[in-house]
Structure 1
Amino acid sequence: MQQRTAAITAGAVVVAALIGLVLSGVIATPVACTAVGYIESVDIRVSGAGAADVTAMGFCTDEGCERVPAHPAKGRYYEGTRRNAHLWNFPSETAPAHVAVTAYGGPREAHTTLATQDYDLEWRRIYPGDQCRLWRETDPLRLRVP
């Protein structure tokens, strides 16, 4: 009986010690990171005398390009959109380090390039405690259209 009581007491001490170590941070608990459901995005602010003439915007990363008309179809959450007369938004699943942006003007059949510029992006975590780096942002890009 004494051996059984001693074994139970020793087991309880070991469990309590492990709980104490986990709570104190000596033993790190694993973090399960998933990127499902989160998309980072890049805002593009258009300015200049020709800003009102922009009828489409191109957004290119290492993974490909997307061209969005000024009035895209409704309900396309994961695609680029024009938010207002001077703000465009392009979602990206990869938080690219480099992008190229092109403003187009004129009718859809004959788009003319109004302005184009390359950007190097610096992403920063929005929440310092985010161990998975899921919540990042970058400064808005500024594209001047002459």
Structure 2
Amino acid sequence: MGRNKGGRPEKKPEDKATQQVHLRLTPKEYTALGQLENDTGLNRTTLFRKRVLENQSFIVTKDVINQLSIIGADIGKVGNNINQLAKHANTITKTHDLPPNIVADFNNQMKIFLEQESELNKLFRLMYRTMKG
């Protein structure tokens, strides 16, 4: 009985990457490639495969991840503020002291927020589909 080595299962011969491609770059291009590697956190091989073979025009960089994190936190804060405003409005409504123009303004602002949130969700779905390939 053979000894179980564990680890990753062996690839099929047709799945092994055995062919090499050599590429010459100018010093400026080489620097740009290094910067792209740093920005994306991907190695050169993965960058070339995604951009050339998979025709992926959008690559997520560390800056994009940081911005998405900030946007996510801001959306959470907005949601919290909306909940606080709704609670306050419900309290005031019970005493009948809420002017109708404030309700109308709130509804307009909420409509704008929901439209922007919808656009942001569309963008996130597009980014996800692009990253997924």
Would the TM-score normalized by the shorter structure come out above 0.5? no
Aligning the two structures, in what range does the TM-score lie when normalised by the shorter sequence? Answer: under 0.3
Relative to the length of structure 1, the TM-score reads 0.23
Q: Could you say which structure has the higher strand fraction?
A: 1
Q: Could you say which structure has the higher helix fraction?
A: 2
